[in-house]
């Protein structure tokens, strides 16, 4: 099974780089939702000039591109050659991206100051192994920020998961793509079990998933204030536990 999953990511390329690249043509609402996610990661990661940071599952480098402006050194790792080709062609030359599997990182122990991983752990086969690798390559006191879809969001539990299930049954979609929805509490336990103290949990809203540019009747002057309000709401207790993505920050003890 593991081999098939690797083959799928490497050869069938389930994620097109264009989908994960920074949205250059989007509406005001698209740019807001992207900036919101980048701001959350920056606030949690606190990238410093001297920091060596790992972008685990960098994709098209959307987050690295923004975080590089803070002067840190960022190294990206991704299993997909298409994504890495996109990064080499479109990103700042100072961003180095490497083809590797997060299960077996090609780095020495204790070398990174910080690690972040956005929308990746929910796709990997053995997430425990990946977190162990993160801990191994992270310096003592270093921080890791992980961002993943939240099982506790009602939209996923009640609507999206049955829809995915039906799609598989009705269309017999042959795929090894894995998406596993987990709660922030599940990720917290996983980090703590692997010797990382969870310092912060935050959340964002569903806006990032909406392809609003195709829906012309979303005038930003009306919807942007509303979306901003929702984002503030899902970033405080207890609503953050039911946010769209869960953002967790762990510190290696």
Ligand X SMILES: C[S@@+](CC[C@H](N)C(=O)[O-])C[C@H]1O[C@@H](n2cnc3c(N)ncnc32)[C@H](O)[C@@H]1O
- What residues make contact with ligand X under the rule CB under 6 A? 9, 15, 20, 57-59, 62-63, 77-80, 83, 101-103, 118-120, 123-124
Q: Give the shortest CB-15-to-ligand X separation in angstroms.
A: 5
Nearest approach, Cβ of residue 197 and ligand X (Å): 24
124 vs 137, which CB is nearer to ligand X?
Answer: 124
Q: In sequence order, what are the residues at sequence separation of 6 or more whose Cβ sits closer than 8 angstroms to the Cβ of residue 125?
A: 1, 2, 5, 103, 178
Bridge-based pairing state of the strands 138-149 and 245-252: antiparallel
Strand extents, DSSP E, the chain = 52-56, 73-78, 96-99, 112-118, 138-149, 196-203, 245-252
Considering all CA atoms of the chain, what is the largest pairwise distance in Å, rounded to the nearest integer?
A: 52
Q: How far out from the chain centre does Cα 158 lie? A: 22
Closest contact distance (angstroms) between CB of 171 and ligand X is 21
Alpha carbon distance 190, 248 (integer Å): 11
Q: How far is the CB of 138 from ligand X (least distance, A)?
A: 17
Looking at residue 49, the DSSP 8-state letter turns out to be T
For ligand X, the closer CB: 29 or 58: 58
C-beta separation of 91 from 70 below 8 A: no
Q: Is there a contact between 147 and 41 (Cβ–Cβ < 8 Å)?
A: yes
Pick the closer one to ligand X by CB: 79 or 201: 79
- Shortest gap between Cβ of 60 and ligand X (angstroms)? 6
Strand order across the 96-99 sheet = 96-99, 73-78, 52-56, 112-118, 138-149, 245-252, 196-203
Residue (75 or 223) nearer to ligand X, CB: 75
Q: Where in 119-225 does DSSP place strands (E)? A: 138-149, 196-203
CB of 100 to ligand X, least distance (A): 7
Query: Closer CB to ligand X, residue 83 or residue 191?
Result: 83
Which lies closer to ligand X via its Cβ, residue 77 or residue 190? 77
Shortest-Cβ-distance residue relative to ligand X:
59
Closest distance of CB 74 from ligand X, Å? 12
CB 98 within 8 A of CB 54: no
CA distance 137 to 142: 10
Nearer to ligand X, 101 or 204 (CB): 101
């Amino acid at each position: 099974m593991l081999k098939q999953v690797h083959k799928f990511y490497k050869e069938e390329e389930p994620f097109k780089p264009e989908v994960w690249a920074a949205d250059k043509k989007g509406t005001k609402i698209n740019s807001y939702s992207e900036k919101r996610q980048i701001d959350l990661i920056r606030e949690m990661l606190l990238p410093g000039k001297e920091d060596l940071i790992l972008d685990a599952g960098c994709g098209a480098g959307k987050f690295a591109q923004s975080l590089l402006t803070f002067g840190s050194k960022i190294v990206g790792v991704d299993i997909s050659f298409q994504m890495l080709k996109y990064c080499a062609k479109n990103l700042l030359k100072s961003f180095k991206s490497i083809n590797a599997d997060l299960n077996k990182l090609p780095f020495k122990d204790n070398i990174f100051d910080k690690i972040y991983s956005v929308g990746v752990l929910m796709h990997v086969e053995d997430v425990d192994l990946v977190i162990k690798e993160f801990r191994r390559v992270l310096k003592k006191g270093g921080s890791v920020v992980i961002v993943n879809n939240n099982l506790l969001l009602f939209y996923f539990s009640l609507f999206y998961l049955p829809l995915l299930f039906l799609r598989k049954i009705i269309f017999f979609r042959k795929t090894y793509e894995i998406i596993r929805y987990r709660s922030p509490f599940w990720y917290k336990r996983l980090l703590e079990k692997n010797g990382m103290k969870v310092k912060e949990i935050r959340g964002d809203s569903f806006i990032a998933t909406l392809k609003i540019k195709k829906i012309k009747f979303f005038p930003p002057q009306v919807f942007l204030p509303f979306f901003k309000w929702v984002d503030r709401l899902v970033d405080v207790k207890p609503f953050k536990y039911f946010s769209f993505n869960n953002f967790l920050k762990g510190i290696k003890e």
